Structure 1
Amino acid sequence: MLGRLVGFRLMGIVPQLALVSVAIFLLTYLIPGSPAAVLLGPRATPEGIAELEERLGLDQPLVVQFVEWVGGVLRGDLGTSWFGNKPVTKVISEHLLPTISLTVGGILVAILLGMSAGIVAALRPGALLDRIVGLGTATGLAVPSFWLGVILLGYLAVQLGWFPVLSWTPPSQDVGLWLRGLVLPSIAVGIAGSAVIARHTRSAMLETLAAPYVQTLRAMGTPRRTIVARYAIKNTMVPILSVIAFQLSTLIAASFVVEQVFTIPGIGTQLINAVARKDVPVVQGITLVVAAAVIMIYLLADIGYALLNPRARPQ
């Protein structure tokens, strides 16, 4: 049954990627201005712009350009950057590790902090600790990640010197410095997600603790710690898994902004620079890779949901 679920979800990925590719291609051509004019600079002439557009294939109809782009994608060729004449796949591969490191760090902060706070708050609803968690989640949702990143960087890194000002160090150079540099960006990225996870965890835990089987276990004399650790947390994870998947996809977008604050050379930085200089192949390639990653995240979430909840598996 699980294999059937995976096969069904994989079949759905094909039309999703097709729609996403069409949207990405069309949206990139809605960017105002001519990329050829940007490439040639302020002294560009109409003749020079027309010649460069012809060389880049921008004078062809959109349908022809789209078919050529899709054909390249199916062959594993995302095109070549118009600035630097570098393959887009190489641009992504060279800057993918910083973004993955930041995203993984952010989701770990969100899961550990959010689930811990939600469980603690649910164990004593209405108590002082529950109110503190509620205030903390409201604050976490209200604070922008980039603003929090600026505060953390200015105080903990610049003034106190507890963390490096330059947050990115390749792990091949120094693993310890790599981990230290990721602490502040991960917190900045993960705080908002932890607030969302904490709220949902609290609600799910309260519902689980009020279930009839929990009352039966209590009547049988099962210690509360055993009930929470062996039964309640596992059943709480079923609805929380979809929340974590959604937060992970949100953290990818948030990491693009936080990369600018902490000067992290990830694909988010490359995407923002490519949009500013109208480097269409890089914009299309990075956006397609990110969209495919988000689709895979939801696929894995569906599989994990089916593992935790057998009733969700196809009959």
Structure 2
Amino acid sequence: MIVRLVKRIAVLLVSLVVSSVLVFAFMAVLPGDPARVALGTSASETAVAQLREQFGLDRPFVAQYLSWVHGLVTFDPGTSYISHTEIGPQLADRLQVTLWLVGAGMVLACILAVPMGILMAVRHRRPSGLILSALSQAGVAVPAFLAGILLITVFAVGLGWLPANGWTPPAQDPVLFLKQLVLPVLSLGMVQGAVLTRYIRSAVLDVLREDYLRTARAKGLRPMRALVRHGLRNAAVPVVTVLALQLATLLVGAVVIERVFVIPGLGSLLLDSVSNRDLIVVQDVVMIIAMAVLLVNFLVDTIYLMIDPRLRGGSS
């Protein structure tokens, strides 16, 4: 198991390096001069050259890349080309907001999907199972941003129970923070929960057809007890893979949801920076998202080793 874990850490590190090179290279080949964009088209060549030198844009590609990576590793990503403010504090504040949104959305998705998926599988030939299956299909068909707009229309505009948008830090006003978190989390969690429900249903159905579960029932265990004791752990292996994909989807979906609910997260920062052509901020945000996806995949591989003993031996 230790050897496998070391291999996965090595793969993670290589993936991070490759991702950083691709992100930096993609931003470097985009048309336009960041210094010219920051100063405007009427700026003199001398002023543009001075700003390029100030931000290190006149250095070779490799030197710029190494300086950027060093800034990320030391948590000092530099200064914005447009606002001339430190990027680090912005990223820390925005990342905290996005983590609240994505984390709560994933928890809600699991709370909804696990019992519903199991119930749909156990009762797949009964009316209740068919009704739940139809509801999950409808949830899969609804985009997160549309779910957000519908929730705002009903609960914020129509009933007036919850605020339609905005963000308040939890330390400043915990009650208002929770109220503002409800609708965006529901928008993300319900849609992703509907998708996850379909995979859990499929995984549990596969387990229900296994011989060892039939044997457990033949020995006197009730179907649900047999499933809980002997089946859910095996059903969890493919579901963990889907959870990793769902987390990546939630990160992307949060970009849109943050716009719908006017939430100052990483997604909003990314879109604002793209509009302002603040490429260094765009570069940093994209790399943070890539790092988050790669880290999630690494954690999933590690969880595999914990829930599936067959993966702990051998050389692969």
TM-score, with length taken from structure 2? 0.92
Relative distance call for 1:30 and 1:153 in structure 2 (3 A) is: farther
Paired residues of 2:204 and 2:232 also in contact (CA < 8 A): yes
Take 1:216 and 1:236, find their aligned partners in 2: how far apart are those partners?
Answer: 17
**2:56 corresponds to which residue?**
57
| DSSP 3-state at the match of 1:164 | coil
The answer to whether the aligner puts 1:313 opposite 2:312 as a matched pair is yes
Superposition deviation, residue 94 in structure 1: 1.7
C-alpha offsets along residues 135-185 of structure 1, whole Å, 9 cap, x if unaligned? 223322222211221221122112211112234221102223222221211
Superposition deviation, residue 63 in structure 1: 3.1
Paired residues of 1:35 and 1:277 also in contact (CA < 8 A): no
Superposition deviation, residue 20 in structure 1: 0.4
| DSSP 3-state at the match of 1:172 | coil
**1:41 corresponds to which residue?**
40
Relative contact order, CA 8 A, sep 6+: which one is greater? 1
| DSSP 3-state at the match of 1:282 | helix
Take 1:192 and 1:27, find their aligned partners in 2: how far apart are those partners?
Answer: 32
The answer to whether the aligner puts 1:274 opposite 2:273 as a matched pair is yes
**1:288 corresponds to which residue?**
287
**2:145 corresponds to which residue?**
146
Paired residues of 1:145 and 1:192 also in contact (CA < 8 A): yes
**2:238 corresponds to which residue?**
239
**1:28 corresponds to which residue?**
27
1:1-315 to 2 correspondence within 5 Å? 1=1, 3-41=2-40, 43-315=42-314
Letter in 2 for 1:256: V
Letter in 2 for 1:193: Q
Relative distance call for 1:83 and 1:289 in structure 2 (3 A) is: same
Take 2:183 and 2:231, find their aligned partners in 1: how far apart are those partners?
Answer: 32
Superposition deviation, residue 294 in structure 1: 1.3
Take 2:33 and 2:136, find their aligned partners in 1: how far apart are those partners?
Answer: 45
Letter in 2 for 1:254: G
Of the structure 1 ranges 150-159 and 100-109, higher mean CA displacement relative to structure 2 is found in 150-159
Letter in 1 for 2:63: V
Letter in 1 for 2:21: V
Paired residues of 2:35 and 2:81 also in contact (CA < 8 A): no
Superposition deviation, residue 53 in structure 1: 2.8
Letter in 1 for 2:183: L
Superposition deviation, residue 277 in structure 1: 0.9
State the percentage of identical aligned residues: 36
Give the gaps of 5 or more residues in structure 1: none
Superposition deviation, residue 234 in structure 1: 2.6
Letter in 2 for 1:157: A
| DSSP 3-state at the match of 2:160 | coil
Paired residues of 1:204 and 1:236 also in contact (CA < 8 A): yes
Take 2:303 and 2:144, find their aligned partners in 1: how far apart are those partners?
Answer: 28
Paired residues of 1:99 and 1:255 also in contact (CA < 8 A): yes
| DSSP 3-state at the match of 1:57 | coil
Take 1:75 and 1:66, find their aligned partners in 2: how far apart are those partners?
Answer: 14
Take 2:24 and 2:245, find their aligned partners in 1: how far apart are those partners?
Answer: 25
Take 2:210 and 2:66, find their aligned partners in 1: how far apart are those partners?
Answer: 55
| DSSP 3-state at the match of 2:59 | coil
Take 2:179 and 2:75, find their aligned partners in 1: how far apart are those partners?
Answer: 35
Paired residues of 2:213 and 2:227 also in contact (CA < 8 A): no
Take 2:33 and 2:146, find their aligned partners in 1: how far apart are those partners?
Answer: 33
C-alpha offsets along residues 201-231 of structure 1, whole Å, 9 cap, x if unaligned? 1111111111111111211111223123323
Of the structure 1 ranges 169-178 and 14-23, higher mean CA displacement relative to structure 2 is found in 169-178
Take 2:96 and 2:288, find their aligned partners in 1: how far apart are those partners?
Answer: 14
Give the gaps of 5 or more residues in structure 2: none
Superposition deviation, residue 310 in structure 1: 0.8
Take 1:167 and 1:209, find their aligned partners in 2: how far apart are those partners?
Answer: 46
Relative distance call for 1:31 and 1:128 in structure 2 (3 A) is: farther
Take 2:32 and 2:145, find their aligned partners in 1: how far apart are those partners?
Answer: 29
TM-score, with length taken from structure 1? 0.92
Letter in 2 for 1:252: L
Relative distance call for 1:162 and 1:24 in structure 2 (3 A) is: same
